[in-house]
Chain A
């Protein structure tokens, strides 16, 4: 039985579903290197023309926010209503603004 260190690294896969749209994370897979990761991503995630472009990045290079810090990171934006257009009172007869 092979040890865990012999496992091919994990890659995260991002796919542009069609021209004009952004790449979106679709999942992950194992591959020995970047070329194989792209080939595997094509076979695993685009069997029905789900994409026109693929990015892969080794999972170890992804840094993520910690869920326990979500409150302090994202809640401060909740009471900043003045960042939204509806906060500002303008007469209704005004057009194109």
Chain B
């Protein structure tokens, strides 16, 4: 590393330490740029792939109120993906490169979306737990150091709270409904509880990026802190529903002022990350199909726009 680079790095770190935002054209270490391209594009992919398990139920909602709510939520997730792709593009990666990384399986997205949505209660549970976990992570990221990412997060957070509320409302309906409905809600909670806790990522001492994330103020809280925050918030909500989280070790710890909880099955987590979850193949196949079948639309729209533009030019001339 040359002398000049060292001082640029020091200046950069000083800006971060002062709490300044880093903007796309500012000097930044290559590692900062690469880390952000990876993190923001993977966040975008999660929003986009996240539409698939919920989209599965749009045609089968129990009534119109549920349908408009779910449809609007899924539309929002598409929007979230677009905000985030735009933020990543400011760092010099193209949209098509990001899509290619997703479609070839090179890029990761949140593992939670590799679980199937088997019953209507899963849609309630996803809104409640998965959006709930996402909110905790995203609220923290509104203060992340990279400006375009932070601004995308502000916009996203404004929209997320309705997502969680529509999910919880579904859960209230089911858990206060017939015994069969309540059983369905409990079953969904049983299946989604542990994967939701895994959404916060590996434990701090097994998470290689934690130190760098904190130093560059990408994350202001660690995975374990966020996970604990989520559990503490969520347990009273489960109690209100009269549902039980599937963890025999879960217990309020007066001394710590937090819930203690049981061991997470990290083998399962890594299996899903590596592509062996229940729906990894299905999700990638659905994305590739949509991309391939949309090719003619993209090409035709571009050809039409170019033709129109050239007509305008000849008119002016």
B23 to A67, Cβ gap below 8 A? yes
How many interface contacts (CB-CB < 8 Å) are there between A and B? 59
A1 touches which one: B72, B100, B298 (CB < 8 A)? B100
Q: Which residue of B lies closest to A13 (CB)?
A: B86
| Stretch of A4-12, A76-84, A87-95 on the interface side | A4-12
B305 to A33, Cβ gap below 8 A? yes
CB of B80, distance to nearest CB on chain A (Å) = 10
Separation of A7 and B207 alpha carbons in the complex (Å): 36
For B267, list chain A residues within 8 Å (CB): none
Separation of A32 and B294 alpha carbons in the complex (Å): 14
B side interface size, CB within 8 A: 30
B95 to A30, Cβ gap below 8 A? yes
Known: A6-B298, A36-B301, A36-B305. A28 touches B86 (CB 8 A): yes
For B72, list chain A residues within 8 Å (CB): 47
B79 to A47, Cβ gap below 8 A? yes
A49 located at the interface, meaning its Cβ lies under 8 Å from any Cβ of chain B in the complex: no
- Majority secondary structure of chain B interface residues (helix, strand, loop or mixed): helix
A4 to B94, Cβ gap below 8 A? yes
A side interface size, CB within 8 A: 23
A44 located at the interface, meaning its Cβ lies under 8 Å from any Cβ of chain B in the complex: yes
For A10, list chain B residues within 8 Å (CB): 86, 89
B97 touches which one: A4, A29, A30 (CB < 8 A)? A4
A66 located at the interface, meaning its Cβ lies under 8 Å from any Cβ of chain B in the complex: yes
A67 touches which one: B25, B79, B96, B304 (CB < 8 A)? B25
Which B residues are closer than 8 A to A by beta carbons?
Answer: 23, 25-27, 72, 75-76, 79, 82-83, 86, 89, 94-97, 100, 151-152, 155, 159, 295, 298-299, 301-302, 304-305, 308-309
The 8 closest A-B pairs by CB, nearest first: A33-B305, A32-B301, A32-B305, A28-B86, A32-B302, A67-B26, A4-B94, A67-B25
28 contacts between A and B (CB under 8 A): A1-B96, A1-B100, A2-B96, A2-B295, A4-B94, A4-B96, A4-B97, A6-B299, A7-B94, A8-B301, A8-B302, A10-B86, A10-B89, A27-B83, A27-B86, A27-B152, A28-B86, A29-B86, A32-B302, A33-B304, A33-B305, A36-B301, A36-B305, A47-B72, A47-B75, A47-B76, A67-B26, A68-B27
Extra contacts, 4 of them, besides A2-B298, A4-B96, A32-B302 (Cβ < 8 A), are A7-B95, A28-B86, A32-B298, A66-B25
